[in-house]
Amino acid sequence: MNGLLIIGAGGHGKVIADIASALGQWESIAFLDDKYPELRQVLDWPVIGNIDNLGMYRRDFAAIFVAVGDNAIRKKLMKWAETEGFELPVLIHPRAAVSRFAVIGPGTIINNQAAVNANAKIGKGCIVNTGATVGHDCVMNDFVHVAPGASLAGETAIDDLCWIGMRSAVIEQVKLGVGVVIGAGAVVLENVPDHKLVVGVPAKIVKDLTFSD
């Protein structure tokens, strides 16, 4: 059966279900969530179980979308879904602007009013959130979250598991290492090494981050 199973029925899951419904590509949409069986329904869609026995849903659901905001947890769950043989679709909101020359990896969401420009390359399991911008020739690796209103200028390079905070900006040709976190509203003018928290205008490193893959 051509169904879409969404892991996570929280706020991000609601957004994913809404977009998937608008796209009209699946015969059915349902959630898995750890709050089941107390949680049985979210908006128009049923919560049918938790993730303990993921493989049992393979007959009725060809595809899974992992709707979890935490980058490391999303990575773990996506790898599990792949192992179980599920498809990992790309979701692009009907009102997003995505260049036909951009490359978008599996399990990635491009949200409402986001822009992805020519020759940008976005990896698997990424979130390009509402109103975010990914500039031309940007290379974004896997499991990155670009928060609402954030901007990545042209030719930036964003490594795995980065978090680009709300309304922050990264100027052209800047490189961010693995697991970098950019605080909300920060303006990043220079390269940032792995596992650093940067905040402010201009952005400065304020903390070394403990990294868990």
CATH of the domain at 22: 3.40.50.20
- Tell whether 175 is covered by a domain: yes
Structure confidence at residue 55 (pLDDT): 84
Structure confidence at residue 212 (pLDDT): 60
Residues 125 and 186 occupy one common structural domain: yes
Residue 213 has pLDDT above 70, yes or no: no
CATH of the domain at 185: 2.160.10.10
- Tell whether 153 is covered by a domain: yes
- Tell whether 211 is covered by a domain: no
Closest listed residue to residue 194, CA positions, set 169, 167, 157, 168: 157
* 136 part of the active site: yes
pTM above 0.85, yes or no: yes
Structure confidence at residue 142 (pLDDT): 98
38-52, 135-149, 160-174, 190-204: lowest mean pLDDT where?
Answer: 38-52
Tokens of 182: 């950019």
Among 60, 83, 106, the domain boundary falls at: 83
**131 contacts 152 by C-beta, under 8 angstroms:** no
The total of structural domains in the chain comes to 2
Among 29, 49, 83, the domain boundary falls at: 83
Segments forming the whole domain that contains residue 105: 91-201
Using one digit for the tens of pLDDT, what is the confidence trace for 136-185? 999 999 999 999 999 999 999 999 999 999 999 999 999 999 999 999 99
- Tell whether 37 is covered by a domain: yes
Strand bridging mode 169-170 / 187-188: parallel
Q: Which of 93, 136, 145, 195 is catalytic?
A: 136
d(CA 175, CA 22): 35
State the chain's maximal CA–CA distance in angstroms. 52
Tokens of 97: 């602007």
Residues 79 and 95 occupy one common structural domain: no
For all residues of the chain together, what is the average pLDDT?
96
Q: How many angstroms separate the Cα of 181 from the Cα of each of 87, 99, 121, 159, 194?
A: 29, 27, 20, 11, 10
- Tell whether 127 is covered by a domain: yes
Residues 95 and 51 occupy one common structural domain: no
Structure confidence at residue 96 (pLDDT): 98
Look up tokens 């999303």; give the residue.
74
Using one digit for the tens of pLDDT, what is the confidence trace for 84-93? 999 999 999 9
Cross-sheet strand order for the sheet of 97-98: 97-98, 115-116, 133-134, 151-152, 169-170, 187-188
Structure confidence at residue 210 (pLDDT): 82
